[in-house]
A and B are shown apart, each in its own frame.
Chain A
Amino acid sequence: MAIKSYDVVIIGAGITGTMTAFQIAKYNLKVAVLEAGIDVASGSTRANSAIVHAGYDAKEGTLKALLNVKGCEMMEGITSQLGVHYKKCGSLVIGFNARDLEELKKLKARGEINGVKGLRILSRSELLKMEPNVSRDAKHALYAPSAGIVCPYDLAYAVAENSATNGTDYYFEFKVDKIDYDGKAYTIYAGEEKVKAKYVVNAAGCYADEIAKMIDDDLPFEIIPRRGEYMLLDKSEGKVAKHTIFVTPNEKGKGILVSPTVDGNIIVGPNANIVDSKADTSVTEDGLDEIAKGARIIMPGINLNAVITTFAGVRPTPTSGDFYIRESEKCKNFIHAAGIESPGLASAPAVSEYIVDILKNCGLSMRKRKNYIETRTINGNCKLFYEMTERERKEAIKNDPKYAKMICRCEMVTEGDIINAINRPIKAKTIDMVKRRTRAGMGRCQGAHCRTKVAEIIARELGIDISEVKKFSSNSNLLLGKTK
């Protein structure tokens, strides 16, 4: 069989890789995205704070500072183009004493140099008016109105689907293990499988250093896996915070936050612990205690009994402290986008444009694609039932009665939504893939009620036996054979 040949191959389908695919899909090029996991957003993008940081944290003059502020400004345009929930809720950094106030002033000054608009130091009474549940001990706060919230995997799905709709090929469970370069083109292997590319973008997150080594290149820094644990609270608590609330940062980082999510829950976390394995997304009792304690400093009355799930994500923290986005010094036309930790989500739109500029400078000729499709699919952005207006619901049910069959009552997900998710440009093939695309099983009962039904629908749509249905990966079968 002939090897598939591409103009650009992107390694990694996290937010950086998919956003880059989204930008390149506007041009008349052949593009592929290679992903080791089974789905888009399988690594750091899957589990993080879901915050669009305003851009006052990063040190002035760094690439991080530049791309964070610009990415945050671009977020509204991209999310509205693709129908992604995004809310510019603003963020607050609260301070408890005079030393904190000094820090807040420094942050404000740094933010202004970085180009963050509207920063303001609030008095205690102003703060309490905006966030009545915040600790009474808080004395000041830095308010950043341009900060926001977005669901990271929803955004990654949206940009990935748009790029797939515009012809980008996606390869899943394609774990790159070897890269050859003959001076003209790269051949990228995953076991027996291989693809060819003229240009390569290394957006492999925690594994970007390992990819670099495959072309005998060493990144000038190490990538340290740092795990952050989180708790998610029920929607019943959704109104206790209206802004993303941080405490004044210290040498250990931005610390634990309390924030609303775009879906109406409250997220609490993360801590930051260096772990041995890049795949260690386990939660620990001590870790959960730590974030509970942190949350209570911000909001002493927070109801942590309303937790509906706990989870952890691993961030690719570079020892250099800054994003590293440039052409490899060893190999031509091989671009590293490495060390993209927080604020990687906020920065992603600007990071991807930056990568496109590098590709242009490397000599890739970019002509606008004719018939570029702006939406996620050729049929538009495909709203979910719970997002629809009454009129849209009636219309959807008239066209397809399966939209009138409720599967997950907690999150109002219908059979129509699930079948749609299974058949979209990037197909949902497992329980978790359906869950992240439709929210089925993400509510207060966490799938206790609907998981069996989702499994039945997946089995039927994919033409497999229900015992073949997986939770997320190839060895995560839900069921183990028939009864007697």
Chain B
Amino acid sequence: MNKKLVIIGSGPSGLVCAMTAVKNGISASNILVLEREGELGGTLNQCIHNGFLKNLTGTELASNLIKAVKKLGVECRTESCVLSLSADRVLTVISPSQGYQKIKADAVIIATGCREQSRGVLSIGGTRPAGVLSAGAAQRYINIEGYMPGKKTVVIGSTDIAFIVSRRLAIEGAKVITVVEPKSAPLSDKKNIKDCLRPFNIPFQLNHNVTKIYGKERIEAVDICQLDKKGKPIKKTKQKIECDSLVYSCGYTPDVDIAIEAGMRIKRDTKGPFTKRNYETTIPGVFVTGNAHYIHKNIDKILKESVVTAESVAKFLQKANQPKKEKKNEDNAHIDRKNQE
């Protein structure tokens, strides 16, 4: 199968790229969106809280974008996982409905978003029982499956999602004993502390961390310590706190296994693919956008970048369609200086 444009991922980035591409002259029948999960919308689907664009919930924003893309007639395939991407833009895709397929694309946009890091909890001593989970997993259990991952919870981290999940747990009747952040300032806006923690009387402790996990089968308790200026635990501040779950949120990293396996150059600081000013990666015709590119501050910035990315993809495709003149390849001439570090 041949397509002009294949977009990998149907989160907000992927969907906005599809809409923008049509707006910029790429025919909808020439665009294919591939989604690994059973539903379109990506992580938005588990974000039932508001604060997206004009105060929509994540799920509302997702359903608006999905409707818009479908109305344009762009084909979106769910349960479709890209196994690999070659240097000449051949994608190997598997899905239960279509089987094993090769798709050749003139241009590809990687809009695979991000995933949670687990690194922060790894240095914690103690056992490895059930009941230790990431904030994203906790959110998914509560909002999608309708189950409680814990009823007496300690939370590590001060990202947006750490606070939002603390609030969700509290609303569902769990006791959030405390939220600790090893750093001296919260990663998320202070506004979130006011909105999510204070109304439920959830304590928030900066310069604190969990230092030990207890429990053979299910988690039973944790040690919490204050940290000194170098980040080392101050032993005499150690407190053992009983709990039945530990939720962590240690930040995000771009989910770009496809890019790494394809041999793209990856930036050391952002962990996302290296790009030119037009969002093209080191594989010609393959672009990256949204949180797959680097972790964005908020959804507005993701959507803006996705629009610009899709516009430059449209330009790239127009150029590729023009009869070949003497080739100069302007884009290569001015590689973004900032990108070069």
Contacts and interface: CB of A to CB of B under 8 A. Distances in A.
Interface of A: 236, 279, 281-285, 287-288, 305, 307-311, 393-394, 397-398, 401-406, 409-410, 412, 414, 445-446, 448-449, 451-452, 456, 466-467, 470-484
B145 A477 contact: no
Interface string B128-145: 111101101100111011
Contact of B149 (A281, A393, A479): A479
Contact of B134 (A288, A405, A448): A448
10 contacts: A283-B125, A283-B128, A310-B122, A410-B257, A414-B94, A474-B217, A475-B217, A479-B147, A481-B148, A483-B172
A482 B148 contact: yes
A456 B141 CA distance: 11
B198 interface: no
Contacts of B115: 445, 448-449
Contact of A309 (B122, B148, B257): B122
B149 A404 contact: no
Interface residues of B, number: 50
A480 B81 contact: no
Which DSSP category, helix, strand, loop or mixed, fits chain A's interface? mixed
B244 interface: yes
A412 B83 contact: yes
A476 B100 contact: no
A132 to B, nearest CB: 21
B127 interface: yes
Interface in B88-112: 94-100
A115 B137 CA distance: 52
B25 interface: no
A404 B79 CA distance: 8
Which DSSP category, helix, strand, loop or mixed, fits chain B's interface? mixed
B323 interface: no
Contacts of B150: 480
A310 B257 CA distance: 22
Contacts of A402: 96
B136 A448 contact: yes
Given A288-B123, A311-B128, A480-B150, A475 B218 contact: yes
B141 A448 contact: no
B116 interface: yes
Given A279-B216, A307-B122, A405-B96, A479 B148 contact: yes
A483 B148 contact: yes
Contacts of B51: none
Given A394-B100, A472-B130, A406 B147 contact: no
B83 to A, nearest CB: 7
A476 B220 CA distance: 11
B211 interface: yes
A448 B141 CA distance: 12
Contacts of A474: 217
Nearest to A229: B125
B151 interface: yes
Nearest to B266: A236
B253 to A, nearest CB: 9
Contacts of B245: 480
Nearest to B126: A282
Interface in B171-228: 171-173, 211, 216-218
A443 B126 CA distance: 21
A448 B137 contact: yes
Given A452-B137, A456-B145, 7 more contacts: A283-B128, A287-B125, A404-B99, A452-B145, A472-B130, A479-B147, A480-B147
Nearest to B36: A406
Nearest to A431: B130
Contacts of A414: 94
Given A285-B211, A448-B118, A476 B218 contact: yes
B83 A480 contact: no
Q: Which 10 A-B pairs rank lowest in CB-CB distance, beginning with the nearest?
A: A471-B130, A406-B81, A476-B130, A401-B96, A475-B217, A404-B94, A476-B217, A479-B147, A448-B134, A284-B125
B126 A283 contact: yes
Nearest to B83: A412
B119 interface: yes
B148 A285 contact: no
B278 to A, nearest CB: 27
A397 B100 contact: yes
A480 B149 contact: yes
A308 B128 CA distance: 14
A480 B149 CA distance: 6
A409 B81 contact: yes
A481 B130 contact: no
Interface in B66-95: 79, 81, 83, 94-95
B172 A484 contact: yes
A253 to B, nearest CB: 22
Contacts of A480: 147-151, 244-245
Interface string B146-163: 111111000000000000
A283 to B, nearest CB: 6
A404 B130 contact: no
A412 B258 CA distance: 12
Given A448-B137, A466-B145, A476 B172 contact: no
Contact of B147 (A393, A403, A483): A483
A478 B127 contact: no
Which of A310, A406, A482 has most B Cβ within 10 Å? Answer: A406
Contacts of A472: 130, 217
Interface in B214-255: 216-218, 244-245
Which of B95, B123, B126 has most A Cβ within 10 Å? Answer: B123
Contacts of B136: 448-449
Nearest to B244: A480
Interface in B257-313: 257, 260
Contacts of B97: 401
Contact of A281 (B127, B134, B144, B147): B127
Contacts of A452: 137, 140-141, 144-145
B147 A477 contact: no
Contact of B118 (A282, A394, A401, A445): A445
